[in-house]
Structure 1
Amino acid sequence: MILIGQYDSPFVRRVAVALQHHGLAYEHRPWSVWADAESIAQYNPLRRVPVLVMDDGEALVESAAILDALDGLVGAERALLPPSGEARRAGLRVCALATGFADKAVSLLYEHVLRAGDRRSPVWVDRCVTQISETLDLLERERAARGGDFWLGAFSHADIAVACALRFLGEAHPSLFDAARRPALAAHAARCEALPVFAAVVQPLHVAV
């Protein structure tokens, strides 16, 4: 398999963590969506990452779809979410919230990178900040209520998605995540980042357009 994309992307990284967790061998091509856009386009015309090229040449796109395929590949007993039921719905909901605020953080980063100060949209910036902040508030309450080492009791895609999104947010917009205000999320992120599967796939944020 070939994983395309840089580990500073929370979406690429969540796929990489799952691959590491399952012990699945892959080649990593750290292509940039800007500098290597045309190379990525050979596999995904949207020029977005992650892309996971399977051994038969099939190119899977979008992190949730890729992870669903990996769960199918390793089987239900090793999958990081069950195939059905309440736990699956709960996990998918947390993943959607985490990747949702990560997506808003990416949008906010590009707003700052691609537009000079007087060209930025304060309405858009305020909207992104509100969406991120209120989602973090919700996740903080829910994580504090659950307790335990992992969100669903056992290590899952929910843990990975939240931790990867929080690392990206902390590097891209450090003022938007106050660990003292959200201690349950901070503890969750620290616990995950200490795991070898996270440490193996880490890259400082770098944006070049």
Structure 2
Amino acid sequence: MYQKAFVLLRTYAALATFLASYFALTVVGNLIYFTPFGDGIGRVQIADFSISNFQTAGSFGYWILLFLPFVVAPPIVFAVKRILAPMAPWIKTIKISTPAYLVALAICYAYASVSLWRANATGLFLRGNDAVDSVYDRFELLSSLGFWPQVTIKSLLVALSCYGLVVAIETRKPLWLLVAAANVVGAVALSRELRMKRFAPAAKVVAFVLLTMAAALLLQIAQL
């Protein structure tokens, strides 16, 4: 039984990591506001907060959208696996040399940092007086950044970070472990800067780091 569970985990490790992270960070984060102490938690950041003030909160569409990834993601993964599995022998594993990876990572971080500086991300980050102001500042920042800097931060750096994490787990070389740890710190910093999370609870940042570590552990178990 346990062997079958490990095989299933190894096969669908990415899907399990995504759904677990989504549940912990998004589903639980929404459900907590419907508990008896939810409004009190909201008032820590927004005065007179009440989940009932949001017209769509608790509606049928709200619940459908909240739990939609659990319904949509698995069939898509299963379908893609069925289509691509026969092609596996002809698909070469992409290996990036260490110098090429470090150069690409440095370029992406430099481009993201310069783009955030030009968009006055730090000024917007420090300008807001509460969580509501931070929301408006985030929209202003995204508008100023444009498309390609967001692609770099949300896609390219995420892909490079995941690649570095996998290599660190496989090789356990000090350099790659250091790169993986640096990517975790960089991901947290860019996430807070991009989303204007100055007033976000510190627990969210800690949760992000812990989930990243859990993902690494999950991938390690999948190799057994």
**For this structure pair, what is the TM-score category when the shorter chain's length is used for normalisation?**
0.3 to 0.5
Which structure is higher in helix share? 2
- The structure with the largest alpha-carbon Rg is 2
Which structure is higher in strand share? 1
